[in-house]
Structure 1
Amino acid sequence: MRIFLHLALGSAVLALGFGQAGYAQMNEPAYVITYIEVTPTATERAIELLKAHGEASRDDDGNARFQVLQRIGRPNHFALLETWVDTEAQATHAAAAHSNTFRTNLEPLLYSPYDERKHGQVEVRPSIDDNNAIYGLTHVDIIPTYLDPGVDYVRTLVAASRKDAGNIRFDVLAQDSRRNHMTLVESWESAEDQAAHSTAAHTKEFRAALLPLSGSLYDERLYRPL
């Protein structure tokens, strides 16, 4: 845990100004993560709607990525991962006729509200989508007064995890509305690679260092692409 202790001291002294440097501006990519939970009996219908919406959305101007994911162990839970060239492209997509039709048709199937969260980038690098990959979405909630050291811990985890065997993608985004709420976005070549990462020494050190700074449960969810 020594590296995380050094980071905590460094953050307290340097005051890195995460609020200015950590998030997307108007001319930078816009990221959206949406969590969808439908009644179990509506799973197949939801899959049809989600796949069709994904295909239509990828044709929208300014779309850079649109992935539809199904949660492992909870097949009636889904997630949408979107990347747009800018906020204007995302807003145009959200107002499109096919988006409104999708939301209207999906609404009767939901047992929890449609949970759409807009994000900006903290640590993102180009990656290739893999339809056979294991995806991870983890919600990290840092107490606002500990934001700088918490962000340093997250960035250190990202740098180490990208070197893990089988890693395809390991990025971190922050919610536009609550900048101390972040999402780790991961993809792995196999379930075994993801499991090995979860028990790696650097992951354990990160979890231990982050816990005293956390405002809520560390929420990790695994998915497969549809």
Structure 2
Amino acid sequence: MQVFFNLLVSATIFAVGFPVISPRAAAQEQPVYVAIYVETQPQSAEQAITTLKAEAAASRAEAGSVAVQLLREIGRDNRFVIFEIWKDRAAFDAHQKDPHLQAFRNQLHAIETAPPDERLLTRLWPGPAANHPSAHAVWVVTHVDVMPSYADEVSGMLKTLGEESVKEPGYLLFTVTQQIGRPNHFTVEEGWASHLAFDAHEALASTRQFRDKISPMLGALYDQRIYQGLE
């Protein structure tokens, strides 16, 4: 897990250091984030972990890979999410053609409950990543779907929430990403040192005010799930 944080920070530095280029070129050159939600048959959960870890190792070995993180949903042992960061769109496209990915999909197909849900994302706001998460760390992934007219306002609200979150005890990570082609859909990943630290964050006035304000803007359920790291 420590490797993921180091690479995530490196990705942030890399992005900030981009030269001034055209918007179209910038879209191709900026890092690509991917969230892949996986649900397997309950009896195949442990087999899925072996398969997911092997695929993560193969992906990390690719030239354009920046980071791969595996998470397992707490209380739903057969549901997982894979977070990937690729150097740019070309690196992601090359990954899609790699033979190991097709082999992984074939193995997963035999044990899945439903096809993986893959979201291609671009980073909107990355908070600083804290080091040395313990075995008690929890990871919170929230899919935020708002009505299209609120997309710009909500992107600002999520950034503000992140800026408040980094000040809290137990903070590890807060990253806001936006789905490519669906700018009113956001994925937020948070890391907290413990479930207690996350519960304290949820009880804060700033968090509750955010939830109150965003509620009438939502286009679907505020989908928040809690995970533990697999590596």
After superposition, the Cα gap between the structure-2 partners of 1:38 and 1:129, relative to the gap in structure 1 and judged at 3 Å, is farther
Would you say the 8 A contact 1:134–1:188 is kept in 2? Answer: yes
Name the structure 2 match of 1:17. none
User: Matched residues in 1 for 2:85 and 2:193: separation?
Assistant: 21
Q: State whether structure 2 residue 204 is matched by structure 1 residue 208.
A: no
Name the structure 2 match of 1:36. 38
Instruction: Give the % identical residues.
Output: 37
Would you say the 8 A contact 2:134–2:193 is kept in 1? Answer: no
After superposition, the Cα gap between the structure-2 partners of 1:149 and 1:118, relative to the gap in structure 1 and judged at 3 Å, is same
After superposition, the Cα gap between the structure-2 partners of 1:126 and 1:84, relative to the gap in structure 1 and judged at 3 Å, is farther
Would you say the 8 A contact 1:64–1:83 is kept in 2? Answer: yes
Deviation for aligned residue 1:130: 3.8
Would you say the 8 A contact 2:140–2:189 is kept in 1? Answer: yes
Name the structure 2 match of 1:217. 221
Q: State whether structure 2 residue 170 is matched by structure 1 residue 166.
A: yes
Q: TM-score, normalised by structure 2?
A: 0.84
Deviations 1:89-116, CA, capped at 9 Å, x for gaps: 1111121111111111110111122111
Deviation for aligned residue 1:131: 6.4
**Structure number with higher relative contact order (C-alpha < 8 Å, ≥ 6 residues apart):** 1
Deviations 1:29-56, CA, capped at 9 Å, x for gaps: 0000000000101111111100111111
Aligned length: 204
Matching of residues 1-226 of structure 1 within 5 Å: 25-127=27-129, 128=131, 130=133, 132=135, 133-226=137-230
The structure 1 segments of at least 4 consecutive aligned residues displaced by more than 4 Å after TM superposition are none
Deviation for aligned residue 1:65: 0.8
The amino acid across from 1:51 in the alignment is K
User: Matched residues in 2 for 1:118 and 1:129: separation?
Assistant: 28
The amino acid across from 2:174 in the alignment is F
Return 5+ residue gaps in structure 2 as ranges: 1-22
User: Matched residues in 2 for 1:175 and 1:129: separation?
Assistant: 29
Name the structure 2 match of 1:10. none
User: Matched residues in 2 for 1:97 and 1:129: separation?
Assistant: 34
Deviation for aligned residue 1:156: 1.1
Return 5+ residue gaps in structure 1 as ranges: 1-20
Name the structure 1 match of 2:19. none
For the aligned residues, what is the CA RMSD?
A: 1.5
Q: Secondary structure at the match of 1:112?
A: strand
The amino acid across from 2:64 in the alignment is G
Would you say the 8 A contact 1:131–1:225 is kept in 2? Answer: no
Q: TM-score, normalised by structure 1?
A: 0.86
